[in-house]
Amino acid sequence: TQTFICCDLHGLEEGPADTAVLTRDQGLSYYRCMQTIRRMELKADQLYKQKIIRGFCHLYDGQEACAAGIEAGIERTDHVITAYRAHAFTYTRGVSVREILAELTGRQGGVAKGKGGSMHMYAPHFYGGNGIVGAQVPLGAGIALACQYQGNGQICVALYGDGAANQGQLFETYNMAALWKLPCVFVCENNRYGMGTSVERAAASTDYYKRGDFIPGLRVDGMDVLCVREATKFAADHCRSGKGPILMELQTYRYHGHSMSDPGVSYRTREEVQEVRSKNDPISLLKERMLSNNMASAEELKEIDGEIRKEVDDAAQFATSDPEPPLDDLCKYIYHNSPPVQVRGTNPWAKLQSVSSS
Amino acid sequence: QGSFIDALVVLQMMVRDALNQAMDEELERDERVFLLGEEVAQYDGAYKVSRGLWKKYGDQRIIDTPISEVRAGLRPICEFMTFNFSMQAIDQVINSAAKTCYMSAGFQAVPIVFRGPNGSSAGVAAQHSQCFAAWYAHCPGLKVVSPWNSEDAKGLLKAAIRDDNPVVFMENELMYGVPFEMSEEALSKDFVLPIGKAKIERPGNHVTLVSHSRCVGHCLDAAAVLAKEGIECEVINLRSIRPMDTDAIEASVMKTNHLVTVEGGWPQFGVGAEICAKIMEGPAFNYLDAPVTRVTGVDIPMPYAKILEDNSVPQIKDIIFSIKKTLNV
């Protein structure tokens, strides 16, 4: 099926093509991806309320089309880095739901062996998972520099939110990326709120796609997985052709509060959340598109839902039954490729030994 | 004519409310004082420490800032959502706040308070669990304060706000919800504790325990256990890291002959390390019957998994063990 792609442009004479094609296989793949993310995040919500997950937990439900669309628009060999709302990207970059949930529950089977938690998950060509707002963006430019240096034709997608968009280090990064023509796609996931502060109260300009100034930018509907994919492809091509960095703003929405300790309704109304859920849900949008174009039957999608439910339930089962990491792991991986060092414990008689990674 | 019942009424107040009361009183007292930080106004504070203040004092005095460095010339109270985030602004804290009075030969004072939760919490992992006491206390020009209970919180915050110098005020997230008794004196609007003076929370003869922030509570718990075995610990609550009340520590050590420091932060170049150095340089050294023992956090980034995190910070059993080793019992 063909869809109309709508795009606001900054510093660009033309953007992605007006229309895009969605094949049945692609549709089913994006549906499965987004639904898995949705169910995984809702399972995390449940586990958090049962106190099986602790600490920070920033959920992504509502924003699925961003992660799914970006992954559909880049190559597996490209690179992705994001902030702390990172479970979905950990998944799209190839980590299983099992390993993600087990990391959230702090078990040895977690993708970071229980050492990292929600905000610190990594995978090949996926650099987390970063807890300090905005800090991942200069890192993203650095990854892009490595791509350029090695001449491998790869690009880096560096994501951040509307809150981080006002961080000074972003503007320093824009300057250097543009100066050196780094193959970096900066992506602002604008979900309208930086924790409890709406964009109007935080930013002198809420046209985040223009904030790169001399860096060209585009803004698309982040709830439409096809729009996200097409914009991402366009942006990736721009970088790969040596034109330098580009900025992409995805207008999206999170159903949950900032984190599990934020009910999310002190700074926005329940009606607003409901409205987005009923009129703009990314999974529903795709589902309706596929059904109305006879690309899949309702039963087929329901079957996929069932498979995903089982996958997530099995993952949760693993995540709650897998043992915690052994105490021997305490001093593992402080350093890489380094001889062991003595590590001081809580008192001078507690002499531990480090084990480096290699 | 007061009622005798007044003397019997003892109010319990949580640390978070004591901080709130301190700020409320100082905002009322001096219109040059104002509060700014992420989510301090309409959200009522990420940890609810500033709850109700925006409603009472309005936009001009309680300011939500976008995520960025902060600097102003009045008498600002700058909240860092946690001190981990202060690293984004640390150049300003050190180079603009700490050094300015000196560089200007006293012409430009910097009456600012930087406050927020410091140190480890529960399950917030490596980037959100660091203790910054040693980093900030290293720098001349700053005052560094670390309250433990509600009385500390209120009295020291008021002192910090009234101080004409940059004060780093390190709170503790896990202490916010803990209630403590507040004396009538502590509830008054003029209750100010001196910066630079420690408090002996529990007198004892056998060993001196020196600590700050949440660990003070752990020391008192350890002392209670050891008292049953006939070991009497003197527990000193530092309250101030810089300036540090070295006299109080020395006087205690000259009485007990044994010293154990307890902190949540990392061992290398830390608060305990500084105390060891100070003791060696002063009169108390000759009174020590054993080397000073430091109890600290484990020298690793904070792991997430609960079992690992629990074993990365000093537990009461570690304190008890260390005291017994120091006393050779």
Tens digit of pLDDT for each residue in B90-116? 988 999 899 989 998 988 888 999 999
Ranges of residues in chain B whose predicted pLDDT is under 70: 1-10, 66-73
Contact status, residue B266 vs residue B297, Cβ threshold 8 Å: yes
Query: CA-CA distance, B185 to B167, in Å (whole number)?
Result: 24
Say yes or no to pLDDT of A285 above 80. Answer: yes
pLDDT recorded at residue B72: 42
When scoring A260, A347, A357 by the number of chain B Cβ atoms within 10 A, the one with the most, hence best to mutate, is A347
pLDDT of residue B69: 35
Residues 162-201 of B with CB under 8 A from A: none
Token representation of residue B252: 């205690």
Q: Which two tokens stand for residue B101?
A: 């009075």
Mean pLDDT estimate for chain A: 96
Which of B46, B308, B321 lies nearest to residue A329, judging by beta carbons? B308
| A319 and A107 Cβ atoms separated by less than 8 Å | yes
Token code pair at residue A10:
């900054």
The reply to whether omega before B243 is within 30° of 0 (cis) is: yes
Interchain pair B318, A347: CB under 8 A = yes
Distance from CA of A244 to the nearest CA of B (A): 27
Listed in sequence order, the residues at least 6 apart from B158 whose beta carbon sits closer than 8 Å to its beta carbon are B22, B25, B26, B191, B192, B193
The whole-number pLDDT of residue A172 equals 95
Residue B2 in tokens: 């007061």
- Around A238, how many Cα atoms within 13 Å sit in the side-chain half-sphere? 30
Report the pLDDT value the prediction gives residue A329, as an integer from 0 to 100.
94
CB-based contacts of B48-51 (< 8 A; 24+ apart in sequence)? B48/B16, B48/B176, B49/B16, B49/B19, B49/B20, B49/B23, B49/B79, B49/B171, B49/B176, B50/B20, B50/B23, B50/B79, B51/B20
Q: Which two tokens stand for residue A338?
A: 């380094």
Share of residues in chain A with pLDDT > 90 (%): 93
State the catalytic residue, choosing from B28, B79, B128, B309: B128
Q: What is the reported pLDDT for B8? A: 55
| Residue of chain B whose Cα is closest to the Cα of A200 | B66
Centroid of chain to Cα A205: 24
AA letter at A50: Q
Nearest by CB: A164 against B67, B306, B321: B67
- Closest partner residue to A343 (CB to CB) among B298, B305, B321 is B298
Point out which residues pair with B35 in neighbouring strands: B62, B77
Cα–Cα distance between B250 and B285 in angstroms, integer? 9
CB A303 within 8 A of CB A85: no
pLDDT at A155 over 60: yes
How far is the CA of B57 from the CAs of A151, A229, B66, B73, B115, in angstroms? 57, 47, 20, 19, 19
Shortest distance, CA B98 to any CA of chain A (angstroms):
22
CB of B126 within 8 Å of a chain A CB? The answer is: yes
Give the three-state DSSP class for A210. Answer: helix
Are the C-beta atoms of residues A257 and A57 closer than 8 Å to each other?
Answer: no
| Secondary structure letter of residue B128 according to DSSP | G
Which residue among the candidates B39, B69, B138, B232 is catalytic per the annotation? B69
> Among residues A96, A35, A150, which one has the least CA distance to residue A319?
A96
Q: In angstroms, rounded to a whole number, what is the distance separating the alpha carbons of residues B291 and B167?
A: 32
Rounded to whole angstroms, how far apart are CA atoms B125 and A66? Answer: 26
Q: Which of A133, A196, A327 sits opposite B39 (nearest CB)?
A: A196
CA distance to partner chain A, nearest, from residue B129 (Å): 11
CB contact under 8 A, B128 and A56: yes
Other C-beta atoms lying within 10 Å of the C-beta of residue B112: 26
Q: Does the distance separating the beta carbons of A167 and B67 come in below 8 Å?
A: yes
Q: Which residues in chain A have Cβ-Cβ distances shorter than 8 Å to B85?
A: 132-133
Q: Which residue of B has its CA nearest to A351?
A: B298
Known active-site residue B128: yes
User: Taking CB atoms and an 8 Å limit, are B304 and A131 in contact across chains?
Assistant: no
Interface test with B, best of A111, A332, A346 (most B CBs within 10 A): A346
For residue A336, give the H/E element and its range: strand A332-336
**Is there a contact between A195 and B38 if contact means CB atoms under 8 Å apart?**
yes
The reply to whether residue B305 touches residue A107, judged by beta carbons under 8 angstroms, is yes
Helices (H), A5-154: 24-49, 64-73, 87-92, 97-104, 136-150
Phi, psi at A335, each rounded to 5°? -125, 170
Please report the pLDDT score of residue B132 as a whole number: 97
Interface contact flag, B69 A195, Cβ < 8 Å:
no
d(CA A204, CA B36): 18
Spatial CA neighbour of B36 closest among A83, A134, A197, A171: A197
Residue B66 confidence (pLDDT): 61
Number of neighbours of residue A150 by Cβ within 10 angstroms: 9
Q: Identify all chain B residues contacting A83, using CB atoms and an 8 Å cutoff.
A: none
CA–CA dist B142, B18 (Å, integer): 23
| C-beta of residue B293 within 8 angstroms of C-beta of residue B327 | no
Answer whether B311 sits within 8 Å of A327, measured CB to CB.
yes
Q: Which residues of B touch A196 (CB under 8 A)?
A: 39, 42-43
Interface touch A56/B123, C-beta < 8 Å: yes
Sign of CA dihedral A292, A296, A300, A301: negative
Region of B103 (left: φ > 0; alpha: ψ -120 to 50; beta: rest) is: alpha
On whether any CB of chain A is under 8 Å from the CB of B294, the answer is yes
Asked if the Cβ–Cβ distance from A344 to B314 is below 8 Å, we say no
User: What's residue B58's pLDDT?
Assistant: 92
CA dihedral sign, ordered A322, A328, A332, A338: negative
pLDDT, position B9: 60
- Among the listed ranges A215-229, A266-280, A314-328, B3-17, which one has the minimum average pLDDT value? B3-17
Residue B314: which of A115, A167, A346 has the nearest Cβ?
A346
Nearest to A81 by CA among A175, A146, A15, A9: A146
pLDDT at B7: 52
Give me the pLDDT at residue A162, please. Answer: 97
Q: Does B234 qualify as catalytic in the annotation?
A: no
Asked if A54 lies within 8 A of B322 by C-beta distance, the reply is: no
B37 vs A231, more confident: A231
Alpha-carbon gap, residue A213 to B112, rounded angstroms: 35
Q: 42-101 in B: which are within 8 Å (CB) of A?
A: 42-44, 46, 64, 66-69, 84-85, 87-88
B56 Cβ contact partners less than 8 Å away, ≥ 6 residues apart: B24, B27
As for the ipTM of the complex, it is: 0.86
Give the closest-approach CA distance of A113 to chain B in angstroms. Answer: 9
